[in-house]
Amino acid sequence: MNVLFVGNSHSFFNDMVHTFARLWQAGTGETIRPILLCHPGMGFSYHLREYFELRYNLLYGGFDYAVFQQKAHPFAGSDEECEAGKRLAELSRKGGVQPVFSLTWAEKRAPEHQAEMDEFHRRLCRETGALLSPVGSAWQALLAKEPDFPLYFADGEHASVYGDYLIALTHYRLLSGRTALGLPNIASDFFDPETQAIREDPEKCHVLLDEELCRRIQEAVEGLFA
């Protein structure tokens, strides 16, 4: 299966899509081909303006799904961005690609922003028939039980490696239709905390996470699909 991820740093942080691919292979036994089309700080209207970059991938890339992730922190939820999201979904379908909108999560300092994100994404899915990957819902469900759970990176906006495990797991659960429970505690992490640098050796990006923390993430994700 081939999946195109269209978004910004909240999609490429910690090599999230590689964690998604590793979980997919572990859970299904199949190899998945995830491709990134992500630019820092950019939202739906940007990707629509870069029309030819996106058009070629959607029409000729042979993708099964396109996962669109909107600009967040601050969240860009204007009518203009909503219309751009509709065009992205329309273009996807012209290429035979199922559109998916990834529901983002609120900043650590401003959890009240989650409601706006929820409404924006649910509206888009209602009006386009796209799938919704309820990442922000799983994020908030886990924090409601465990407010100090380490989902955030140090900036309080991006995901930690555990937050990206939750994101990848939510996408896996939606697209595979298989349980999130019992998957391995494997992930990718592009940040080396000792050197404060981005890792460039792919083998060093493969990490094992705390098994108990991953189990609690799995339960939070699975609870949304029960």
Structural domain range at position 130? 2-225
Q: What is the mean pLDDT of the chain?
A: 97
Q: In this model, does residue 226 exceed pLDDT 90?
A: no
pLDDT of the residue at 193:
87
CA atoms within 13 A on the CB side of 2: 10
- The mean pLDDT of 159-184, rounded to a whole number, is 98
End-to-end CA distance of the chain: 25
Number of domains in the chain: 1
Q: Which residues contact 176 (CB under 8 A, 6 or more apart)?
A: 24, 27, 28
Q: What is the pLDDT of residues 2-41, one digit of tens each?
A: 999 999 999 999 999 999 999 999 999 999 999 999 999 9
Q: How many CB atoms lie within 10 A of CB 225?
A: 14
Q: What is the pLDDT of residues 191-207, one digit of tens each?
A: 998 899 999 999 999 99
Alpha-carbon span 24 to 101, nearest angstrom: 19
Quick check: pTM over 0.95? Answer: yes
Q: Domain holding 89: CATH number? A: 3.40.50.1110
Q: What is the pLDDT of residues 115-153, one digit of tens each?
A: 999 999 999 999 999 999 999 999 999 999 999 999 999
